[in-house]
Structure 1
Amino acid sequence: MFKVVIDPQGLEARLLPGSCLTELEFELYGQESVSFGCKVGACGACVVEVVEGLANLGIKGCDEQRFLETLGYSRETFRLACQCHLNGAVRIRAVSSLHE
């Protein structure tokens, strides 16, 4: 199992290798962490900034990259959590609004 840390709260969860980060919704039930909407990469509710372990979330697809850029998140460290599959430990920061 791999550790996922969510800042700024410092919440921790452990997920199986290959798990989608949407599993955080179940692992952290009732705790404010990452917001998930559509869970298919179309709404932008689950934008996160990867603080550590970017390579452990799989490759960012072209559709995800374009959508993030449309939302104003062009840096490589931004991801849609619903599109990430865990391959190692990560630390992420939940983005509370779509415009910093």
Structure 2
Amino acid sequence: MALHTLIIESHQLEFQLPVNSPITDIEWEVGGKNVIPLGCRVGACGACLIKVTSGLEALNSRGDDEEAFIEVLGYTGEEYRLACQCLIRGELAIEVVG
């Protein structure tokens, strides 16, 4: 099974995740520490807002609902994502915003 690197720059942490894993799966690797804040887990609260600093193409596409909600939160640009909606498909670096 292929593994991809997820770097969380805002915490100086690095993880290896299987292809197509939700990036929020790191929660299990850090023993429940809130590296990426999680709330509803369905893209409706904004707690897990991240900014992709490299590897945007390594994520699944952003849906219309996710895009609209991020704009409601006051952010524009495709580099902003809700971590609970992201599946990793390559090397990725992010900063936690939420």
Q: Same-fold call, TM > 0.5?
A: yes
Counterparts of 2:39 and 2:53, CA distance in 1: 22
Counterparts of 1:65 and 1:19, CA distance in 2: 20
Aligned to 1:81: 83
How far did residue 37 of structure 1 move?
0.8
Contact 1:50 1:92 in 2 (8 A): yes
Give runs of aligned pairs for residues 2-81 of structure 1, distance below 5 A. 2-81=4-83
Aligned to 2:96: 94
Matched AA of 1:85: L
Contact 1:39 1:82 in 2 (8 A): yes
Q: Where has structure 1 moved over 3 Å in runs of 4 or more?
A: none
Matched AA of 2:73: L
Q: What is the TM-score normalised by the length of structure 1?
A: 0.90
Counterparts of 2:26 and 2:38, CA distance in 1: 10
Q: Which runs of 5+ in 2 are unaligned?
A: none
Contact 2:20 2:89 in 1 (8 A): yes
- Residue 31 of structure 2 aligns to a residue whose secondary structure is coil
Q: Percent identity?
A: 42
How far did residue 14 of structure 1 move?
0.7
